Amino acid sequence: MHAITRLHRSPALIAIGILWILGQMWPPTALAKEPVSFKDDIFPIIQIRCPECHIPGGEGSEKSGLDLRSYEGLMKGTKFGSVVVPGDAFTSNLNVLIEGRASKEIQMPKHMKKLTTCDIDLFRRWVNQGAKNN
């Protein structure tokens, strides 16, 4: 086996590559320390981008049970389980869906333009900060 082939299959190099990718997805910044407010930062985005589907009678509410009219509705989650894992944006289904890490059929927002990178970063920071009702 050639040295280059062995090098590419090295578990240590694979781990380094994965850590580098994660570092690109969650870069440490000075802004990451500033608290994100549900009321002032997150809820306004939800009200603009999610109201058609995730209210009683809406397509998203009917299919999933997720009601995004309030913090309590978001934290209650869906009929399949929670969508927010406070403190862990990487495994939070909310983040998976809005960041495009889910299959195309269930990425959010549905039938609308994808959230901006800044909006996605706000959601990620809010969840990582504990997803507080602040």
**pLDDT tens digits for range 3-17:** 444 445 566 656 565
Percentage of the chain exceeding pLDDT 70: 76
Between CA 76 and CA 68 the distance in angstroms is: 10
Could you give the CA distance from residue 87 to residue 24 in angstroms, rounded to a whole number? Answer: 19
Task: Say if residue 18's pLDDT is above 70.
Answer: no
**Pairwise pLDDT comparison (132 vs 20), residue with the higher score:** 132
Q: Categorize the per-residue pLDDT at 48 as very low, low, confident or very high, splitting at 50, 70 and 90.
A: very high
Find the DSSP H helices in the chain.
3-8, 11-25, 43-49, 59-64, 71-76, 93-98, 117-128
